[in-house]
Amino acid sequence: MFRNQYDTDVTTWSPQGRIFQIEYAMEAVKQGSAAVGLKSKEYAVLATLKRAPSELSSYQRKVFKIDDHMGIAISGLTADGRILCRYMRNECLNHRYVYDSAMPLGRMVRQVADKAQVADKAQVGTQRSWKRPYGVGLIVAGYDEAGPHVFYNCPSGNYYDYKAFAMGARSQAAKTYLERQFESFGGASLDELVKHALHALQASLQDGELTDKNCSVAVVGKDTTFTLLEDEALAPYITGALASACCCFCRLFAGALLGDEALAPYITAVKEEEPEAAGMEAEQPAAEAEGGAAAAAGGEGEQQGGGGGGGDEGGAAPMQE
């Protein structure tokens, strides 16, 4: 979308009935690095790619625990994300103090987004001329009496209930992976679920590999309080995921172009010989396939024709992670 005369402030509608400032705020989410959330019948899992501003610095945190049964992953303006995180923690704490029980996720997410009242958090920013919308998307994962949940809170003040979701830079690749695999998530074990999350994240990684330093994972379930897995705790999942990552990645995208039958001989050859070497060769057509698949699927789930999936390769601004 391009600059036009209706995008100066958030209280101006365009003749087509759009508010551009809100849509620009949703673009900010795509500037952040990828985050995915998925759930099975018993667990919800978050996985994020962390960025480091320079080689000398540590990686920016993207996953925050809100309460024993709930946590969020953010993508976009980290500062805005921290404010929402603080608000959510406060609300959950007060709920525990007053009612001696865990806050239901649906209520929390709705409070953050929109109760169709002007007093709520994100939507207020879309209705006051002296405020701006929050430039951060939240994936809220948690477990309450109704089971595990994965919600997405959008800067527009909307929230959505998902079986699996991905957001951030190059997240379309992760979404494609999730779309193909989500039917098997329901009965998956916790280990399988984490591996799926890491595979999805791998799909969004442009260059380099998943290491225990540049990604973080969090799990929550019925008897599992919200636990952040990083560094050493994450290492076993990473090695497990990487072993099968290359094959999955290639098959996924090459299969889209060549068709599964035509691909079969390549796959067996790859498995028998050197998985790494053959994976590198197949990387080339796979990269092109990603562009094709992304363009085709670019319209899905994105607001009004934003071609963000494959296109957003620009350098991230320093404050956005």
The residue range among 16-24, 49-57, 92-100, 302-310 that interacts with other proteins, by the rule CB under 8 A, is 92-100
Per rule CB under 8 A, count of chain residues that contact other proteins:
22
Tell me: does residue 124 bind other proteins (CB under 8 A).
Answer: yes
Q: What whole-number distance in Å separates Cα of residue 70 and Cα of residue 148?
A: 10
Give the side-chain half-sphere CA count within 13 A for 232: 0
Q: Which two tokens stand for residue 144?
A: 């309450």
Tell me: does residue 86 bind other proteins (CB under 8 A).
Answer: yes
Q: Does residue 252 sit in helix, strand or coil?
A: helix
Q: What whole-number distance in Å separates Cα of residue 102 and Cα of residue 200?
A: 30
- From candidates 3, 17, 56, 100, binder to other proteins by CB under 8 A: 100
| Shortest Å, Cβ 146 to other proteins | 7
The residue range among 57-65, 89-97, 275-283, 296-304 that interacts with other proteins, by the rule CB under 8 A, is 89-97
Tell me: does residue 147 bind other proteins (CB under 8 A).
Answer: no
User: DSSP label at 145?
Assistant: T
Other Cβ atoms within 10 Å of 303 Cβ, number: 16
Q: What whole-number distance in Å separates Cα of residue 314 and Cα of residue 90?
A: 36
Q: In what order do the strands lie in the sheet with 63-67?
A: 63-67, 70-76, 136-144, 147-153, 159-162
Tell me: does residue 111 bind other proteins (CB under 8 A).
Answer: yes
Q: Are 203 and 249 in contact (CB under 8 A)?
A: yes
Q: Rounded to a whole number, what is the largest CA-CA distance in the chain?
A: 63
- From candidates 110, 132, 163, 213, binder to other proteins by CB under 8 A: 110
Q: Which two tokens stand for residue 15?
A: 């003749």
At what angle are helices 171-181 and 235-258 packed, to 10 degrees?
80
Taking only Cα atoms into account, the Rg of the chain, rounded to an integer number of angstroms, comes to 20
Tell me: does residue 118 bind other proteins (CB under 8 A).
Answer: yes
- From candidates 8, 11, 14, 90, binder to other proteins by CB under 8 A: 90
Q: Which is nearer to other proteins, 41 or 107 (CB)?
A: 107
Q: Which is nearer to other proteins, 124 or 257 (CB)?
A: 124
Q: Are 155 and 122 in contact (CB under 8 A)?
A: yes
The residue range among 11-19, 85-93, 242-250, 306-314 that interacts with other proteins, by the rule CB under 8 A, is 85-93
Tell me: does residue 132 bind other proteins (CB under 8 A).
Answer: no
- From candidates 24, 104, 182, 303, binder to other proteins by CB under 8 A: 104
Tell me: does residue 272 bind other proteins (CB under 8 A).
Answer: no
| Shortest Å, Cβ 96 to other proteins | 9
Tell me: does residue 267 bind other proteins (CB under 8 A).
Answer: no
Tell me: does residue 99 bind other proteins (CB under 8 A).
Answer: yes
| Shortest Å, Cβ 15 to other proteins | 31
Q: Are 34 and 169 in contact (CB under 8 A)?
A: yes
The contact set with other proteins (CB under 8 A) reads 83, 86-87, 90-91, 94-95, 97-101, 104, 106-107, 110-111, 117-119, 124, 146
